[in-house]
Amino acid sequence: MKREVEISVYGAEQLCPSCVNLPSSKETYEWLQAAIQRKYPDQPFKITYVDIHNPPEDEEKRIFASKVIEEDLFYPVVLIEDQLVGEGNPRLKTIYAEMEKHGYIAE
């Protein structure tokens, strides 16, 4: 593995209108964190939850949070190193494939 990747999960307290019956963005964030830790134990990564209606001071995260709202993306939106890998109902298979492009090895 080259370096710790950053995973960003963008979402909101309120479910997106097209995402009825899906877990909330926060639940998806927690589920992803646990799933990735199990798949790649002892391989560090940084996962961050970003509330699209109250983004942090980080300029890049603020800009992307605005984009999620303006472009009506289905949230949660999952980015790995600024690469969009999931929207609405993210797939672990896609996320794992992107992690492995960054040198993570499944155990």
Query: pLDDT by residue (tens digit) across 57-91?
Result: 999 999 999 999 999 888 899 999 989 999 988 99
| CB neighbour class for 84 (10 Å; exposed up to 12, middle 13-18, buried from 19) | middle
Q: Please, is 47 exposed, middle or buried when counting C-beta atoms within 10 Å of its C-beta (0-12, 13-18, 19+)?
A: middle
pLDDT on residue 16: 63
Tokens standing for residue 107 = 């155990």
| Residues 43, 11: Cα–Cα separation, whole Å | 25
pLDDT (0 to 100) of residue 17: 65
Q: Has this prediction a pTM greater than 0.75? A: yes
